[in-house]
A and B are shown apart, each in its own frame.
Chain A
Amino acid sequence: MEALGWFNLLFNVLLILLVVLAVIVVELKDLLYAVIVAGVYGVIIGLLYFMLQAPDIALTQIVVGVGIQTAILVVAVSKTLRVEEKASGKDLGLKAASIAAVVILTVILVFTVVYDFPAFGQPVERVGQYYVENVLKDVGAWNAVGAIVWDYRGYDTLGETLVLFTAVIVVLAVFKHAPGKRDEPNS
């Protein structure tokens, strides 16, 4: 029981730290610092996934959020501007309306989540129970998540693979030239 208390305390502290880091990422003017803080944010959220008993997602989040996302964002910052330019400050009305909409939506969603949702730790959906009980008989895999991803819901993952394929085709179409060629990109 003592261990569980420490576990809950650490869990809540990490959740609060997550919100603080998200605010820092949004409000920093220097984009390079913001990208590095976003890497730390990725580690924290990976730890939270691990504490929520999802090691698959924790592994994915840490590899993606610290490795490839930071690398691509740093390269993009180095190819563009490092410091955020000063806002022109002309459309203040639009900004105020956006902030008001966000605040109202936050209040509504917080009340929904606190009063209408089942308590944390007691899920109501029972669909996943079938997969847990039958994965060894149907597929023969020990990892239930991997079995769902590639066997029970294979179409879903096929679509995901094609989305990634298409995203890189978009990058190709935007930059036009093969990177092996040394000539200047045409305008």
Chain B
Amino acid sequence: MNFPYVVCVFLIMIGLYCILCKRNLLKIILGLIILSDGVNLFFIALGYKAGGVPPILHGETFKHGLESFYTAAVDPLPQAFVLTAIVISMGVVTAALALAVKIYQLYGTLETTKIRRLKH
């Protein structure tokens, strides 16, 4: 049963629909956030192991032996990638919001169709 993957596909497609069909710049940025969240959730769900434990050692794991930890720990590599991806998407959102606010100051509107017609 791959229900979590299907949900990730729906999230990505909702974000893509928002980017393609909405005309408001802030709405487009919200769609970007939803799209990147869908991709991140897909990565984490791919690395999940049924009945797994987080890939972090602590005092209890040494008592039970490290072998059981090696077989039960989930994949740490997608988590490291997603950590990087979240930072980069936040930086992109910050830069895009700065551009949107500046566009509103120059054109007086946030609609992409109206920005095309106005001259500054």
A9-21 vs B, Cβ < 8 Å mask (1 yes, 0 no): 0011001101100
Q: Is A123 an interface residue (CB 8 A)?
A: yes
Q: Are B11 and A123 in contact (CB under 8 A)?
A: no
In the complex, A30 Cα to B23 Cα: how many Å?
14
B1-30 vs A, Cβ < 8 Å mask (1 yes, 0 no): 111111111111111111011111011011
In the complex, A57 Cα to B43 Cα: how many Å?
11
Q: What residues of chain B lie closer than 8 Å to A61, measured between beta carbons?
A: 40, 86
**Total A-B Cβ pairs within 8 A:** 252
Q: Are A26 and B84 in contact (CB under 8 A)?
A: no
Residue of B nearest to A50 (CB): B54
Segment 66-125 of A: residues with Cβ below 8 Å from B: 68-69, 72-73, 76-77, 79-81, 84-85, 87-88, 90-91, 95, 98-99, 101-102, 105-106, 109-110, 113-114, 117, 119-123, 125
Q: Are B77 and A120 in contact (CB under 8 A)?
A: no
Q: Are B56 and A144 in contact (CB under 8 A)?
A: yes
Q: Are A55 and B84 in contact (CB under 8 A)?
A: no
Q: What residues of chain A lie closer than 8 Å to B22, measured between beta carbons?
A: 26
Partner of B2 from the list A69, A113, A125 (CB cut-off 8 Å) is A113
Known contacts A54-B44, A123-B75, A129-B70: A80-B2 contact under CB 8 Å: no
Partner of B87 from the list A53, A148, A160 (CB cut-off 8 Å) is A160
Q: What residues of chain B lie closer than 8 Å to A149, measured between beta carbons?
A: 80, 83-84
In the complex, A131 Cα to B46 Cα: how many Å?
17
Q: Is B118 an interface residue (CB 8 A)?
A: no
Q: What residues of chain A lie closer than 8 Å to B101, measured between beta carbons?
A: 76, 79-80
Q: What residues of chain B lie closer than 8 Å to A79, measured between beta carbons?
A: 101, 104
Q: Are A167 and B9 in contact (CB under 8 A)?
A: no
Q: Are A34 and B9 in contact (CB under 8 A)?
A: no
Q: Are A53 and B4 in contact (CB under 8 A)?
A: no
B residues near A, CB below 8 A? 1-18, 20-24, 26-27, 29-31, 33-34, 37, 40-41, 44-50, 52-58, 69-70, 73-80, 82-84, 86-88, 90-95, 97-102, 104-105, 109-111, 113-114
